[in-house]
Amino acid sequence: MAFYTYIMANRKNGALYAGHTDNLGARVLAHREGRGAAHTRKHDIKRLVWMEAHDTREAAKTREYQIKKWKR
């Protein structure tokens, strides 16, 4: 089983969202249908712009937290 860290955006140079999941297709669909995180609903974030596969859930989660510490 693969685990994924991903970044979604609403538009170029717009709002971003970073997350991790074990089913990327279903998670992106949830965001697009408004069933994702409150931040994605508030800012209309529906475009997958980057993803990275990992062997373990812990690795995906660690990478997500690293990304969330980045400066824009």
pLDDT for the residue numbered 72 = 79
User: Which residues does the chain have with pLDDT short of 50?
Assistant: none
pLDDT for the residue numbered 59 = 98
Task: Please give the torsion angle defined by the CA atoms of residues 40, 47, 19 and 38, in that order, rounded to the nearest 10 degrees.
Answer: 10
How far, in Å, CA of 35 to CA of 20, rounded?
Answer: 15
pLDDT for the residue numbered 40 = 93
pLDDT for the residue numbered 53 = 98
pLDDT for the residue numbered 37 = 87
